[in-house]
Amino acid sequence: MKEKQVAAIRQGKTALGIELGSTRIKAVLIDEDHNPIASGSHDWENRYENGIWTYSLEDIWNGVQESYKSLANAVEEQYGETLTTIGAIGFSAMMHGYMAFDKMGELLVPFRTWRNTMTEEASRQLTELFSYQIPQRWSIAHLYQAIINKEEHVSSIDYLITLEGYVHWKLTGERVLGIGDCAGMFPVNGEAKDFNQRMMDQFDDLVKEKQFPWKLRDIMPKVLTAGEPAGMLTEEGARLLDVSGNLKAGIPLCPPEGDAGTGMTATNSVARRTGNVSAGTSVFAMVVLEKELSKVYSEIDLVTTPAGDPVAMVHCNNCTSDLNDWVSLFEEFANMMGLDTDKNALYSALFQKALEGDKDGGNLLSYGYLSGEHITGFEEGRPLFVRTPNSRFHLANFMRVHLYTALGALKVGMDILKKEGVKLDVLLGHGGLFKTREAGQKIMAAAMNVPVAVMETAGEGGAWGAALLAAYMIRKDEDETLDRYLSDRVFADNTGTVLAPDPEDEEGFAVFMERYKKGLAIERAAVDNLD
């Protein structure tokens, strides 16, 4: 087997996916059978500067280069090969956000990530104008809010793009983006597989009196679907990605996609009646629709699969960040006591302990709102832990309630889809919440009232999904759709582990959710009174 992988590396019969997540940039190299054969990563963290959640360009390129270097080192160590060529490359990143560049390619204002919730006015006005839900984190909401705020940089915009589209642009020179994240910048027309021209015209009319030197389409990327060619790695791009100089130019790149699209790909949930949930720093569920929803919901975003099929997206800004902070606190205590604790082992032990807790979480309450949460109506967040004198306060309940609350806002949105009659056969789980076997999966099933499947490759996440999209572009047959490619070639023998919801867990989570909804007044008081 190793000889086959060495040959694939030498001959470039591989595919590479790199995803820029909220706390980690990961690179995964796959072989001809779509199996991960090497990986690398780099940890990073967003900054809160001048009221903006952001990453600097230096952060971005240092992270991309370090993750690639880590991958190349792994290839050298495991196979004795220097990585010089790759069959195809795909980039993915956190969806949405706002990166605006001038004609010289200079960033006009600091990168505004999906996590920012300061575009409420723009979101409301555009939703009303288009009769189509425009979430606060979408690029068009950020652009229009900047116009409302009379920000000087707007007139100088030459290119507006998301994070993975920016990286792709710098490596290839191509101003393109996959349709999944294009649909997170501006509404798309599913039939045309392009931005919705009627709405683009409406926007141009809306800002006509401003006399900007651009029309909206002029500053947006070209929309591409999965499988379409998206450019080649240039000489400059090769040096930018691989500072060692070993990587050769000329490698094809697939359309860059958002983490929602690569999550759907990595979990084989791009066909109708399938869905996936990504649970990490943020949590979002993607459900491929059989028909349109009956009306516009502020809690539900309409996006697409990487192939352009309609998807209902429930996106929540907060999931495991506060939980991770508590685990770090326990780690600090363990170290103080002289215990040499492995972080993964600590997560596993604490998550398993949660399963011993009371089904309703022992009348404890927590909100992991490090940032705002639009689904429950918060423009800012304040992490909270609350208990009454009669609460059953012990470690198992403490951990259980923190796992529960990580899914609280998601539950609010998913219940809307349930009332709309949207059917799901199974929900595919991926992301950090599912790394501990059974615990996250069991609680997710109880919260969502649907069987949850987790595959062995779930830990590889969106980077693996990006690699699969790259492989699809160079290996698909002429008329082979993405869902058939995934089902027949990638997941034919990989159905994962499925857990059905436990009725007692479902009942306990329902009790917790009543407490969660009532307690939102406490969160509101904290936001209003704590700076």
Dump pLDDT digits (tens) for 468-491.
999 999 999 999 999 999 999 998
Q: Between β-strands 426-430 and 452-454, what pairing exists: parallel, antiparallel or unpaired?
A: parallel
User: CA angle, corner 22, sides to 287 and 525, nearest 5?
Assistant: 85
Q: Where are the domains of the chain?
A: 321-406+504-529
| Pairing state between β 384-387 and 364-367 | antiparallel
Give the H/E segment covering residue 325: helix 321-336
CA pair distance 200, 204, nearest whole angstrom: 6
User: Amino acid letter at 417?
Assistant: L
pLDDT, position 153:
98
pLDDT > 70? residue 458: no
Of residues 238 and 276, the one with the higher pLDDT is: 238
Spell out a b/e string for 169-189, using b for 16 or more CB atoms within 10 Å of the CB, else e. bbbbebbbbbbbbbbbbbbbe
> 89 pLDDT band (50/70/90 cuts)?
very high
Mean pLDDT of the chain: 94
Q: Where are the alpha helices (DSSP H) in 377-530?
A: 395-405, 408-419, 439-448, 461-475, 482-485, 503-518, 520-529
- Give the mean pLDDT of 409-425: 93
DSSP one-letter string for 206-272: HTGGG--S--HHHHSPEEE-TTS---B--HHHHHHH-TTS-SPS--BBPPPEEHHHHHHHHTT--ST
> What confidence tier does 493 reach under pLDDT thresholds 50, 70, 90?
confident
Which band of pLDDT confidence, cut at 50, 70 and 90, is reported for residue 1?
low
> Helices marked H in 27-91 — which ranges?
57-79
Q: Give tens-digit pLDDT for 126-146.
A: 999 999 999 898 999 999 999
Residue 516 and residue 299: Cα distance in Å, rounded?
17
Q: Is pLDDT above 60 for 240?
A: yes
CA separation for the pair 211, 415 (Å, rounded): 44
What is the pLDDT at residue 432?
82
Contact 164, 92 (CB under 8 A): yes
Q: Taking 90 as the threshold, does the pLDDT of residue 114 lie above it?
A: no
Give me 322's structure tokens.
Answer: 């506060």
Mean pLDDT computed over 26-42: 95
Per-residue model confidence as pLDDT tens digits over 336-378: 999 988 999 999 999 999 999 999 999 999 999 999 998 999 9
Per-residue pLDDT band at 461 (split at 50, 70, 90): confident
pTM summary value: 0.81
